[in-house]
Structure 1
Amino acid sequence: MARSAILNVMVNAAYKAGKSLTRDFAEVENLQVSRKGPADFVSKADLRAEQIVYDELRKARPTYAFLMEEGGEVEGTDGQHRWIIDPLDGTTNFLHSVPLFAVAIALERANEIIASVIYNPVMDELYTAEKGGGAWLADRKRLRVAQRRHLADALVSTGIKTQGTSNDGLQMRQLAAINPAVAGIRRSGSISVDLAWLAAGRFDGLYEAGLAPWDVAPGLLMVKEAGGFVTDFAGQGGSVWNGQVVAGNEAIQGELLKQLKPIH
């Protein structure tokens, strides 16, 4: 796959941030960490990676706006484009020396995601997608969602918040409905990786709520470009703003939705 100029900019930023995270990951026990909230940590590594991504993207496209997990919003001047960035998706994994996390970057144009990059630096797996150009692993393998048709055969990913979040009861009801219907449920700790793996056919389906735009934006395009379907729990079109994702191939996504809709 030949990358576009804009995708090259995004990939280079992800690689540079990934190198920084890899160095910090090797010394994770020495990181100075502060707590933002229940089970939600931010470290110097997180902030450093975000600054690297910001600097690289700002240098390449100085008129574009930003929406970042740590740095918040930065206004642009062109009125059309915005970068959406999670510099370290899977912070809790990172701080516990679990090598499953990613740098995730999406580009929004006129309220539509048009390009995305998800990079796991420890596994050295680079996932990219552009609107109309497909989703790819390492620029060589085109991604397609898995073709299993029945929930009983499906491996499904979700996220389970911890320590007194407001939707504890909802999550338990969802698990009670989904768990008996599927071959297995996985909780990786990185929604960006989950969505990339769904696009790659490693997971068959995915559902999660309580997500931020930077959690959803990079993977949303990737799943769609890999032939997947994405909605919210009400069956409406997938959006980076409502915090809900139900995804899979057409059959699995539809079956997950049938299980989840009554709960909502």
Structure 2
Amino acid sequence: MHPMLNIAVRAARVAGNIIARGFENRDDLETQAKGANDFVTKIDKEAEQAIISKIKQSYPDHAFHGEESGKQGADETFTWIIDPLDGTTNFIKGIPHFCVSIALMHKGRLDQAVVFDPIRGELFTASRGAGAQLNGYRIRTSKSKDLNQTILATAFPFKQKDTLATYTEQFSQIFLACGDVRRTGSAALDMAYVASGRFDGYWERGIKPWDIAAGELLVRESGGLVTDFKGNNDPLFSGEIVAGSPRVVQNLVKYLK
């Protein structure tokens, strides 16, 4: 395992322990609204600080871009992109589907990735050029080519409800063309599931870099393709994403352009 990936895994497990304990004691949660339908708890903040602290022990000069704490560090040669608890609403409601997402960018390119599900104990990892793994075993995207009989994942535009009409039109066309669609509430896990072949594809609008950074590298290193709705190959900061096997992505983009 790459040394920086090893540190990321350790940080994810530390955060996962905080999240798991918090999940068992949700009555003690301090929940705040960051925006419309956008919540944060003290567990999100504690987990993010634990991740940053763990990484800084080994790499004190690295920069950080966290969902809760924003940007830290002037030298962005190495930048850690962190979502300490992706799926906060699931967490608050007691739905056991959420994760820790940590990605490392080196000179603007995704280099290392960890998505950790602390409830199921599933650890998805990837290093640029070295493939993707689930609990140490190699994973690959599905071999699906056409949308027929595929299982896709998406998310409703709950933070941008003014875009519902456009989303509904796109969803209707895709739904008629595919086998079925899932909506789980965690973008990072959706992409990890695409990387491992559980989902054949995934699309979402209104997405943030920390939601998808680790998942993007997982999908690419498992043989998949990641684009924005126009088919461009650098979607991290575009606010929209399509992921899956190359043919599935190409077919999805036809409906999303």
Residue equivalent to 1:168: 164
Residue equivalent to 1:127: 124
Residue equivalent to 2:183: 187
- After the TM superposition, which residues 1-264 of structure 1 pair with which residues of structure 2 at under 5 Å, given as runs? 3-77=1-75, 79-139=76-136, 141-162=137-158, 165-261=161-257
Q: Which amino acid aligns with 2:201?
A: G
Q: Which amino acid aligns with 2:204?
A: E
Kindly report structure 1 stretches of 4+ aligned residues shifted beyond 6 Å: none
**TM-score, normalised with respect to structure 2:** 0.97
Partners of 1:122 and 1:235 lie apart in 2 by 34
Partners of 2:71 and 2:37 lie apart in 1 by 23
Partners of 1:219 and 1:208 lie apart in 2 by 13
* Structure 1 position 36, deviation (Å): 1.2
* Structure 1 position 166, deviation (Å): 3.5
Partners of 1:166 and 1:218 lie apart in 2 by 28
Q: Which amino acid aligns with 1:255?
A: N
* Structure 1 position 122, deviation (Å): 0.3
Aligned partners of 1:128 and 1:222 also within 8 Å: yes
Aligned partners of 2:81 and 2:209 also within 8 Å: yes
Indicate how the Cα distance of structure 1 residues 19 and 81 shifts in structure 2: closer, same or farther if over 3 A, else same. same
Aligned partners of 1:106 and 1:116 also within 8 Å: yes
* Structure 1 position 238, deviation (Å): 3.2
* Structure 1 position 168, deviation (Å): 2.0
What is the alpha-carbon root mean square deviation over aligned residues? 1.1
Aligned partners of 1:144 and 1:226 also within 8 Å: yes
3-state SS of 1:153 partner? coil
Aligned partners of 1:177 and 1:260 also within 8 Å: no
| % same residue | 38
Aligned partners of 1:80 and 1:109 also within 8 Å: yes
* Structure 1 position 109, deviation (Å): 0.6
3-state SS of 1:14 partner? helix
* Structure 1 position 87, deviation (Å): 0.2
Q: Which amino acid aligns with 2:22?
A: D
Aligned partners of 1:156 and 1:203 also within 8 Å: yes
3-state SS of 2:203 partner? strand
- CA offset digits 1:206-238 (Å, max 9, x no partner): 111111110111000000000001111111113
3-state SS of 2:161 partner? coil
Q: Which amino acid aligns with 2:232?
A: Q
Structure 1: 5+ residue stretches without partners? none
Aligned partners of 2:175 and 2:181 also within 8 Å: yes
Partners of 1:179 and 1:198 lie apart in 2 by 17
